[in-house]
Structure 1
């Protein structure tokens, strides 16, 4: 067995689409720390497969739509084609239609429902799908953006993130007796394709760097990814139902 914080761990990472993403850097660091990584992708699978080849070791890619019950049911079998179980699962999945940003009062329920389904309920869906592969000591980590306050233009995605935080707490309650931890990492803004589609992201990014005691580099996702890997490791065995901030300290600073 190799050395490293995640030596011998088998980790499923969702949501890798570009090299800029926290999910990609999580997969990279996990491999560097000794883990065997499997990726899932949705939609542009060929793109995910190309990105997977840029990891230190090329990783297999499984197609997964977290709103598709058939694909969720087939996930354990698909994962077992590569590993015989999982020690960690990373939820890096979020989506909201354009109407959900910038017009909170004007957004219709079908778009809000889609946001909550993909961005929050999917954590429960992913966990229940992978539960046959998990065992005592396993860790589930989701990616979050602190939803305790109302951010400019973030609107219904902020509501979805608040729902995600609540889902994680209830999962921690129900999976704790099985020895499975569930936590979130709340990152500061990271310059990804998805982030650039959010109105006001550039202003938020600039303000974040000014306010963060440690400073903030929105083009560098490795810091939050390292926090994810720490939670995947055995070094936080008593931590569950928690939100770990990896935001340069902004959450602790008043205006």
Structure 2
């Protein structure tokens, strides 16, 4: 089999629907020759049904990143389908409704939950799969540029800033094992998660106007291909980085 990811064993988290960025990552990874295993949270029957729509329906392993028992069993569950991993995709984020649109009023328990799910989980996932990672393996997380404060993004923006910091520290600690860890910062995409963001429609419209390359919020292909590039062997000296797949908005002043 040929392709950018030929022979690679890739674990992809966060597939919920066909609009999920993770779904498109899994699809492109398979088209590029990878063996894919998915993780699912909550409605596993739904994830299994969505998995059937991939070019080669992959196995689905249950994973709640806030459940230490499931994290502890993850490596053994993945071993039932793959004898190791060359790549891991972290496509996990979430925050209670109070964390959006009211930065000053969100309660700590909700903020804490958003930080655990959206930032700490990158470290938790890396630790859980560490026994499976081959030298040269690549961990890639999905980000939304947290260098600035976005309207209504509030505590999710803080969580993404924490995610970016976790990524840097993981790069430091995993580099000696030959493992790379990076983030892909996409522009706004129409996913289920995006529907919970106040003002998303306005952000989407403005993004297309500002992006030098233009921006189609209904097409996650650019972000998915960028993730697959980082999963490949073609960026062997890149780690601790945030790679933009946003049409160029990050480079343009207000």
Q: Tell me the TM-score normalized by structure 1.
A: 0.99
- Alpha-carbon shift at residue 76 of structure 1 (Å): 0.6
The separation in 2 between residues aligned to 1:108 and 1:254, in whole angstroms, is 33
Matched with 1:38 is 37
The separation in 2 between residues aligned to 1:103 and 1:254, in whole angstroms, is 26
- Alpha-carbon shift at residue 21 of structure 1 (Å): 1.3
- Alpha-carbon shift at residue 193 of structure 1 (Å): 1.0
Matched with 1:74 is 73
- Alpha-carbon shift at residue 165 of structure 1 (Å): 0.2
Cα displacement string for residues 162-200 of structure 1 (whole angstroms, at most 9, x for unaligned residues)? 000000000000000100000000000000111011100
Determine if the alignment matches structure 1 residue 161 to structure 2 residue 169. Answer: no
Gaps of at least 5 residues in structure 1 are: none
The separation in 1 between residues aligned to 2:146 and 2:59, in whole angstroms, is 33
Determine if the alignment matches structure 1 residue 188 to structure 2 residue 221. Answer: no
Matched with 1:200 is 199
The separation in 1 between residues aligned to 2:74 and 2:240, in whole angstroms, is 25
Matched with 1:122 is 121
Cα displacement string for residues 178-233 of structure 1 (whole angstroms, at most 9, x for unaligned residues)? 00000000000000111011100000000000000000000001110000000000
Moved over 3 A (4+): none
Q: Tell me the TM-score normalized by structure 2.
A: 1.00
How many corresponding residue pairs? Answer: 254
Matched with 1:224 is 223
| Superposition map of 1:1-255 within 5 A | 2-255=1-254
The separation in 1 between residues aligned to 2:15 and 2:86, in whole angstroms, is 19
- Alpha-carbon shift at residue 55 of structure 1 (Å): 0.4
Query: How large is the RMSD of aligned CA atoms in angstroms?
Result: 0.4
The separation in 1 between residues aligned to 2:109 and 2:245, in whole angstroms, is 32
The separation in 2 between residues aligned to 1:83 and 1:184, in whole angstroms, is 24
- Alpha-carbon shift at residue 121 of structure 1 (Å): 0.1
The separation in 2 between residues aligned to 1:95 and 1:102, in whole angstroms, is 14
The separation in 2 between residues aligned to 1:20 and 1:246, in whole angstroms, is 17
- Alpha-carbon shift at residue 109 of structure 1 (Å): 0.4
Equivalent position SS for 1:82: coil
